[in-house]
Amino acid sequence: MNKKIRTIASLMIIILIAGIGNATNFEFVLETRLTSDGNYEAVDKFNINEDVYAYGDGFKGIKKEDYPWKTLDVYIVPVKYDWADGDDITEHGVINVETFKKSDFNKNHNLMWESPLKTGKFDVIVDDNRDGIYNSTTDAVDSATSYGFEVVPELGTMTLMGLGLASMIGYIKVRKP
């Protein structure tokens, strides 16, 4: 099995397990990261020092003659657990928004957010008609009822915080008569 088929098979398995995507205009949209060997992998957790890429596939209902020139907006926004028709995509803030030609976004890994990242949970939304309003029949969200991805501090940061806290507790106990 060649590398491209393995990558596509892996992405489809992740989609089946995670339930990524919910829009009728797209088969799926997901977050990926660049690995040390130059490939991409689908992930739900990023460290603050990683770049976030978005990958879309399966654009439906697009006329062939319009396809290469039509554009769409892709947003990274703070998580919203209950996306519904008519929701303002930018209501709770925007981490980043990029405009792509559909032909460039489809089946390509597109850089969406460069490190350093902000910790928290986020959604990726593809706004097909670029109106800033979520429409479940034309737009895609990586997960309409959960978060799309999470950014966590590096393990080293958490370890240092724990050591610092333990040192403070030890210092206070030693100082008490």
Higher pLDDT, 66 or 134: 134
Least reliable range by pLDDT among 11-20, 26-35, 167-176: 11-20
The answer to whether 125 touches 95, Cβ cutoff 8 Å, is no
55-78 pLDDT tens trace: 877 665 555 555 556 788 999 999
User: Which residue, chain included where needed, has tokens 């039509």?
Assistant: 70
Amino acid at 110: N
pLDDT in tens, 34-60: 788 888 888 889 999 999 988 877 665
Lowest mean pLDDT among 3-12, 123-132, 155-164: 3-12
Radius of gyration of the chain (CA): 20
Global pTM reads 0.69
- Domains plus CATH for the chain? 3-175 (2.60.40.1930)
